[in-house]
């Protein structure tokens, strides 16, 4: 069985804690590797090595740092198939979805090539008599990222690419469920020319997380995961004087107006609700049609699309719609929530509980589910399911539909499908959610904008990637200078004695 490692100071380093976690093949349920779980001492050692390397990297001019990112982009494109296959093998995503995971991270790296421009400060000459004033953006030092299982390529790159481009050293604590791709990314960064110690990958669990939060050298922490853990990391990190940004759970609503194109809306809901087996924070998990006629039409369109979804392992071809969930525990949780929906009175229109795949009976596959006539008090509505389950709640008016999204505790993403510009504009302006789609079901911003949710989906005042990332990973220093000059006294024609 393969035994994975950490990546410290530019090389693979075996774990020394004696603790390991199993890495599964989600399609078969078999253990395919073991990953070491770092102790506090191992984490602290990685931070110390990063702190030694960081000052020289910060002193490297931004153009040279950007050239490392340019080469990293080239290497990502070169190894795209290799990275996607490794990602699919550990996560369970289809290969096209895995390539999309890598691609959306790559796009942020491309944005970071513009770091020399993004790091420019401000300058005022003659702010006072003979006084000039200027500001500069300087790196924090050593920063860290704690990233989730569902995007093992994209989110690590969203974190470390801007941080490193700003001149920081970075400690990456990826998910122990699918750690191979983050380790591969670290090797590619070294091949691209990154100095040893600037990107450290330390595998671990809560012990490693707490070590990051308590280490006084780590100046900033970014996290993506569930809301309870986001709240924990945010509060403990801030209490320790760190700059912290945390992104938590989601329950994304898609409002469907009576004037919407129902085929387009149904296609959007199926792709956004069941893609990646629903294991993404931007998945649409709640459909909110306005009016019973709209709701009935939408269900009529959805049912055949959902029943025709192809579920299978990534090895079954590119026409597979989604694969297994990441672990047996994830499967058990999703099916438990489905059962709760039935018990609490929702109408289970498409029932995937008996789904089984010949030859993969021990895999973590879950069939697609569709609920109708759910209500606010049901667990399937309140909780983030993170599985292939779409829940429909019925609204009798636009205002009621708006209220469903606005009143929910999560505020990550939302969408509206309509042909009416006035309704769409009102929705975009009034909704209290961080990312909004108008006839776009998954409104993930491109790399030069920022990604972040509101309410209990986001903690901290700066978002991921885009200009906010460069603000988060730097701090501003302002210099006021005056240079006394003797030029007005006339020229000197002889050597003056040194005092």
| Residues annotated as catalytic (active site), given as ranges | 281
Cα separation of 478 and 467, whole Å? 20
In the block, residue with structure tokens 């990456």:
172
How far from 245 is each of 112, 206, 238, 364, 387, CA to CA, in Å?
19, 18, 10, 32, 25
Crossing angle of helices 180-191 and 62-78, in 10° steps, is: 130
CB 152 within 8 A of CB 98: no
Beta strand 347-350 with 369-372 is antiparallel
Cα separation of 458 and 434, whole Å? 9
How far from 260 is each of 219, 269, 273, CA to CA, in Å?
48, 13, 18
Indicate the SS3 state at residue 429.
helix
How far from 52 is each of 56, 160, 268, CA to CA, in Å?
8, 18, 49
Task: Count how many Cα atoms sit within 13 Å of the Cα of residue 180 in the half-sphere of its side chain.
Answer: 19
Cα separation of 369 and 367, whole Å? 7
How far from 369 is each of 10, 29, 442, CA to CA, in Å?
46, 22, 19
Cα separation of 455 and 411, whole Å? 5
DSSP β-bridge partners for residue 464: 451
Give me the sheet containing 2-3, strands edge to edge. 2-3, 30-36, 20-25
């Amino acid at each position: 069985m393969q035994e994975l490692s950490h990546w410290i100071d530019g090389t693979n380093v075996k774990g020394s804690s004696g603790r390991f976690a199993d890495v599964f093949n989600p399609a078969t349920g078999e253990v395919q590797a073991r990953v070491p779980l770092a102790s506090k001492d191992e984490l602290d050692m990685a931070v110390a090595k990063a702190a030694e390397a960081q000052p020289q990297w910060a002193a490297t001019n931004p153009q040279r740092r950007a050239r490392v990112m340019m080469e990293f982009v080239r290497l990502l494109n070169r190894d795209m198939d290799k990275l996607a296959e490794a990602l699919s093998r550990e996560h369970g995503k289809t290969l096209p979805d895995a390539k999309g995971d890598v691609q959306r991270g790559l796009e942020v790296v491309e944005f970071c090539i513009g770091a020399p421009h993004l790091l420019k400060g401000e300058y005022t000459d003659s702010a006072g008599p003979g006084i000039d004033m200027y500001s500069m953006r300087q790196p924090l030092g050593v920063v860290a990222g704690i990233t989730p299982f569902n995007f093992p390529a994209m989110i690590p790159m969203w974190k470390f690419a801007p941080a490193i481009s700003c001149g920081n050293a970075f400690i990456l604590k990826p998910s122990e469920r699918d750690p191979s791709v983050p380790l591969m990314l670290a090797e590619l960064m070294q091949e691209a020319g990154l100095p040893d110690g600037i990107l450290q990958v330390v595998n671990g669990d809560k012990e490693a997380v707490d070590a990051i939060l308590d280490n006084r050298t780590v100046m900033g922490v970014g996290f993506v995961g569930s809301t309870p853990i986001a709240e924990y990391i945010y509060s403990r990190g801030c209490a320790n004087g760190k700059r912290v940004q945390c992104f938590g759970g989601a329950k994304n609503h898609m409002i469907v107006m009576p004037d919407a194109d129902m085929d387009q809306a149904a296609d959007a809901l199926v792709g956004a609700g069941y893609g990646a087996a629903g294991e993404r924070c931007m998945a649409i998990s709640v459909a909110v049609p306005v009016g019973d006629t709209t709701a009935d039409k939408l269900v009529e369109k959805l049912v055949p699309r959902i029943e025709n979804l192809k579920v299978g392992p990534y090895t079954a071809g590119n026409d597979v719609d989604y694969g297994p969930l990441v672990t047996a525990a994830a499967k058990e949780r999703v099916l438990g929530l489905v059962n709760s929906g039935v018990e609490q009175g929702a109408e289970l229109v498409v029932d995937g509980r008996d789904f089984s795949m010949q030859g993969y009976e021990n895999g973590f596959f879950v069939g697609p589910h569709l609920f109708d006539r759910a209500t606010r008090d049901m667990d399937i509505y309140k909780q983030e399911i993170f599985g292939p389950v779409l829940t429909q709640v019925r609204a009798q008016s636009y205002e009621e539909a708006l209220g469903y999204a606005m009143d929910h505790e999560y505020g990550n993403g939302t969408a509206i499908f309509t042909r009416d510009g006035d309704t769409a504009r009102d929705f975009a302006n009034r909704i209290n959610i961080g990312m909004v789609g108008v006839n776009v079901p998954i409104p993930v911003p491109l790399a030069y904008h920022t990604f972040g949710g509101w309410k209990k989906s986001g903690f901290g005042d700066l978002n991921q990637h885009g200009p906010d990332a460069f603000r988060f990973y730097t701090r501003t220093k302002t210099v006021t200078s005056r240079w006394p000059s003797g030029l007005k006294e006339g020229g000197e024609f002889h050597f003056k004695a040194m005092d």
